[in-house]
A and B are shown apart, each in its own frame.
Chain A
Amino acid sequence: MTAAATIPNPIGSPPEPATWSLGPPRLLAAGYGPRRPYDRASPRVLSRDQLTRDVATVGLLGRGGAAFPVAAKLRAMPRRRAVTLVVNGSESEPASYKDRILMRHSPHLVLDGALVVAHALRARRVLVAVNDEPAAAALHQAVGHRSDARSVRIAGTGGRFVGGEARAVLRALGGGPALAPGRRVLPSDRGYRGTPTFLSNVETFAQIGLLAALGPRAYADTGITDEPGTTLLTVTGAVGRPGVVEVPHGTPLSVLLCEVGAAPGAAILLGGYHGAWWTGDPAVPLSRPILQAAGATLGAGVVCVLGPETCPLAELARVAGYLASESAGQCGPCMFGLPTVAHDLQQLVGGHRSAASDLRRRLAVVPGRGACAHPDGTARFVASGLRAFAADVEQHQMAGGCGRPLRGQLTVSPTWQEVAR
């Protein structure tokens, strides 16, 4: 089932994840790389209605985490105003690497998708928000190799976790701080410098590039009826082969885990640190709509594996501490709530009797009370951890611990070196 060799790193940057695919590679197929002259035919030119139809036919969902239907996002764009297109490549989740891989190794595909949308929406400006030097270098090189990318500008953004959120990116691009605004404004209404903006994740644009090149029929050759095509996953933690994997939608989770060499009985976190621990069917099909229906999320395609040799509560506490430190500090319930949650978790690890009930009470008031979804995501991650590791919670309360050390399998570092340790 495995195909495609690991793609050599063209830039010569620090260690980066191994990259492979289950089944034939699409997003990471050779030919979209930055160096060689871009010899492929230009992407098909699609009208706005045609693009919206094609995107709706394959049920394309945004790949940044919220899994918002791309067709709905296209329909929301006004027709008679000058619009801006933003490719969000800021990838600020520590356990995610797939966007950087895409920009470094398939920059032309990302640009294809962006230019298809730009043409359909008649956008004059295309901004790519990047927070990674090799990715920016690859994109610059790719832009230089094509004649249709004159409207593209590559812009650097801040590196915090919460700085990657759509509206925070728009503010940073406009010259402001990389922080979500306090008032609800839709980017399609007022985005980059007040213009209506179509913003989506790097992988979303790469998928649109593929869709434009293949057409909806060939695009749906792989994947499942509910969700045709493939997705990129970053797999980290207690696995023999961590890396970025392209999988057809519908691939059973168990097949992925076998492929990456996860220990039997390992705990699985889906959707990263704003996601939830998966305790359901081990063979659940990896697909956003299916997981959503089961109350879970793939988020930005992050899968973390926790082995049985580390204390799961200590791992949770460490990540909660990191998430608290990543709070922008602009909303009280997040600024005060998250450190308290992290502290409660530490107390729980130490066997404090009342810590679990304090924690549950506090987790109930954190969500929905911030400018961005950082408090909501953090509460979801911790609450699902308490459910998934209920037996460990009990053991820590009864015996003051579980005797297992903290191995740091859940990374809190943005560099791949530490993940792949």
Chain B
Amino acid sequence: MTRQRRIHVDWTRCDGHGLCAVLFPEVIGSDEWGFPVIDGRPLSPDEVIHARRAVASCPALALRLETRSVKQPARSR
């Protein structure tokens, strides 16, 4: 069992402020309207620190850090 962490966006809350993409550009990009584009891969332990910062600074409280227990090691997409 491994634990995987990913950023989850509540799209009904997100207003495209764009802070997350500024704070954590390694994983969060933005589309032409300013809404985040996040690749679905699980975060590395180093990245989790940055992810927490992005989650905490979202003005719309639209980001969450999700933890999932997975039986097999993650395959990168």
Contacts and interface: CB of A to CB of B under 8 A. Distances in A.
Interface residues of B, number: 16
A365 B39 CA distance: 10
Interface string A322-366: 000000001111101100000000000000000000000000010
B15 A332 contact: yes
Interface string B11-50: 1111110000000000000010111010010000000000
Contact of B35 (A330, A368, A369): A369
Contact of B10 (A182, A336, A337): A182
Contacts of B37: 365, 369
Nearest to B9: A369
B11 A330 contact: yes
A181 B13 CA distance: 10
In terms of DSSP, what is the predominant structure of the interface of chain B?
loop
Interface in A144-184: 179-184
B11 A369 contact: yes
A360 to B, nearest CB: 14
Interface of A: 179-184, 330-334, 336-337, 365, 368-371
A182 B33 contact: no
Nearest to A180: B12
Among B8, B11, B15, find the residue whose CB has the most chain A CB atoms closer than 10 A: B11
B40 A333 contact: no
Contacts of A370: 11
A196 B11 CA distance: 24
A183 B16 contact: no
Given A183-B10, A370-B11, 10 more contacts: A182-B10, A182-B13, A182-B62, A332-B16, A333-B11, A336-B33, A336-B35, A369-B35, A371-B11, A371-B12
A331 B14 contact: yes
A180 B10 CA distance: 11
Contacts of B62: 182
